[in-house]
């Protein structure tokens, strides 16, 4: 009677395993938020849909064109009522083509595209300038209802200015119109003029400031105790 309801905890193991499996399968297939946050679907004739169809190993899912590893290579967010691309936009930083036309976008997009080094085609609403300006792109075309920015230029090459980065640093493109100077191995600091191991300094720096803040905290609490007593 009472025994019929009794189960050893070990008999739950297969159930727990099954539950874990069920929970993990949809998670593995889950699309990045940026692909599903806009309702509706991508139109057949959109540039992103056509790009996705041209390349056999790519798949259109939600508003994204993904490769087999789930990397976003195309993103179509036309007509999504976006005032800004939003916090999930960086999930598409490997994209080759992005369509943002027919959105009420506001403000400057330069920092939105930081890290988007692969981007070759960007379609924007009319009146929103290409990030980085006209010089950051090979071809900028204005249409009645949109504009396209094509061919991201590598500013490290095109400026032809050896002064862009200091002597012991090198120039790396980090997105449309954006570049960064990276210090050579063994150099760090302002204009890469300091030599030596940076990580050791950093370690002592953090350790030092932690010790200081703990001492300040203790000093403060002890002082308060002294006052109240």
Please report whether residue 215 would count as binding ligand NAG according to CB under 6 A: no
Q: Work out which of 71, 118, 120, 168 binds ligand NAG, going by CB under 6 A.
A: 168
**Identified binder of ligand NAG from the candidate list 48, 52, 112, 146, rule CB under 6 A:** 146
Asked if 92 contacts 121 with a C-beta cutoff of 8 angstroms, the reply is no
- Measured from the CB of residue 31, what is the shortest distance to ligand NAG in angstroms? 19
Cβ 44 to ligand NAG, closest distance in Å? 4
Single residue of 8, 145, 199, 229 touching ligand NAG by CB under 6 A: 145
Q: Which residues of 150-173 are buried (b: 16+ CB within 10 A; e: fewer)?
A: bebbebbeeeeeeeebeebbebeb
Q: Is 132:176 a contact under the CB 8 Å cutoff?
A: yes
Q: Taking CB under 6 A as the rule, does residue 193 contact ligand NAG?
A: yes
Q: Which of residues 58-117 bind ligand NAG (CB under 6 A)?
A: 79, 101-102
- Cα separation of 206 and 102, whole Å? 48
3-state secondary structure 57-84: CCEEECCEEECCCCCEEEEECCCCCCCC
C-beta of residue 85 within 8 angstroms of C-beta of residue 112: yes
Is the CB of 189 or the CB of 208 nearer to ligand NAG?
189
Does 44 engage in binding with ligand NAG (CB under 6 A)?
yes
Binding residues for ligand NAG, rule CB under 6 A, total 17
Is 209 one of the binding residues for ligand NAG (CB under 6 A)?
Answer: no
First-to-final CA distance of the chain: 66
- Among 31, 37, 47, 71, which residue interacts with ligand NAG (rule: CB under 6 A)? 47
Nearest residue (CB) to ligand NAG, 90 versus 172: 172
Question: What is the side-by-side strand order in the sheet with 59-61?
Answer: 59-61, 64-66, 72-76, 97-99, 121-125, 146-152, 137-142
- By CB under 6 A, residue 167 contacts ligand NAG: yes
Q: Which residues form the interface with ligand NAG (CB under 6 A)? A: 44, 47, 79, 101-102, 123, 143-146, 148, 154, 157, 166-168, 193
């Amino acid at each position: 009677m009472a025994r019929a309801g009794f189960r050893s905890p070990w008999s739950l193991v297969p159930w727990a395993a099954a539950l874990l499996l069920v929970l993990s399968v949809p998670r593995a297939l889950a699309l990045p938020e940026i692909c599903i946050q806009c309702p509706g679907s991508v139109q057949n004739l959109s540039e992103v849909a056509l790009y996705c169809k041209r390349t056999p190993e790519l798949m259109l899912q939600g508003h994204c064109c993904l490769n087999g590893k789930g990397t976003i290579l195309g993103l179509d967010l036309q007509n999504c009522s976006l005032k800004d691309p939003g916090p999930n936009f960086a999930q598409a930083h490997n994209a080759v083509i992005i369509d943002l036309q027919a959105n009420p976008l506001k403000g400057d997009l330069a920092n939105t595209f930081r890290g988007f080094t692969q981007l070759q085609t960007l379609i924007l609403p009319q009146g929103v300038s290409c990030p980085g300006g006209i010089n950051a792109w090979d071809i900028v075309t204005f249409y009645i209802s949109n504009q396209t920015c094509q061919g991201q230029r590598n500013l490290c090459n095109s400026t032809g200015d050896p002064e862009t980065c200091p002597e012991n640093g090198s120039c790396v493109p980090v997105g449309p119109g954006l570049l960064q100077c990276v210090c050579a191995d063994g150099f760090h600091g302002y204009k890469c003029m300091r030599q030596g191991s940076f990580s050791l300094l950093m370690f002592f720096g953090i350790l030092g400031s932690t010790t200081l803040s703990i001492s300040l905290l203790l000093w403060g609490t002890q002082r308060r105790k002294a006052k109240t007593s």
